[in-house]
Amino acid sequence: MAAEPIPISDWLLERYALEELPADKAAEIARRVESDPALAARLQALRDSDREVLAQYPAPQMAERIGRRAASPRRPAWPLPALLAAPALAVAAALLLLVRAPGDLAPTDLAPAVATDEPQTDRVKGLTPRLLAFRMHEGQSEPVYESQPLSAGEVVQLHYVAAGRAFGAIVSIDGGGAVTLHWPERPSRPTQLEPKGQVSLPHAFELDAAPGFERFFLVTAPEPISAERVVEAARALAAGPGARTEPLHLPATWEQSSLCLRKDTK
């Protein structure tokens, strides 16, 4: 019996569409697209989405938006330990002491989608939730990819594509074990997402000097989820050896996509 082919993530398919893969890998994906109508439909959906994004966010406009948001005062991030069940005085102290600028994000290496009871009509056909990021480079906005090293001090604007999922949270883990909540802006706030299109977070982020990597998670669900629970799962993962590669320990009906950026702190 022939082995099942390895699934192709949206991130890899998008790199193929952008002609950024090595020739041998691109040829392999081209063969599979020709023989797999479902994969061809996913590729077309990604291309349609990219066209919509470019129409909605032309490069000059995106550069202006990132520059404007980077120049505005940054909101407090929400690293942990335990802000979640802290008394009021501890929370106030955390707000005074804490100003960690959330990290960077790039188009994502998606985890496999998990089946849910949500009707297919509520989703964006052919797409799965994902994260994307843009950085300012020589006055222009450009996409950020996992393979490229980034430096402390770079300004990055994060976007999400919910692909029809109504609720979600975004957290990150860095190489030093710190956890930051990026969406919602406070742990107690609603986790509702804009289900269609590409949505930018309210603030651009400046990368800090934590070593090695910063890994971002987009956790989505058809029903309201607890940002506190997502943060606690990120804390647990950050404390172990699998922070860079393993998924968050969350309900099976909550989908996860993650993006791990390489940080050059030399």
Q: Model confidence over 14-32: pLDDT tens digits?
A: 778 877 777 888 888 899 9
**Does the pLDDT value for residue 220 go beyond 90?**
yes
Give the angle subtended at the CA of 222 by the CAs of 113 and 110, to the nearest 5°.
25
Map tokens 């192709």 to a residue: 8
d(CA 187, CA 211): 26
Confidence (pLDDT) at 21: 77
Q: Model confidence over 116-140: pLDDT tens digits?
A: 333 333 444 557 899 998 887 777 7
d(CA 258, CA 105): 10
Instruction: Determine the angle formed by the axes of helices 10-17 and 37-56, rounding to 10 degrees.
Output: 70
Please compute the mean of the pLDDT values over residues 89-107 and round it to a whole number: 30
Residue 63, both tokens:
């550069």
Cα 195 to Cα 109, 127, 147: the distances in Å are: 20, 12, 28
196-233 in b/e form (b: 16+ CB < 10 A) is: eebebbebbbbbbebebbbbbbbbbbbeebbbbbbbbb
Among 8-22, 199-213, 217-231, 233-247, the least confident range: 8-22
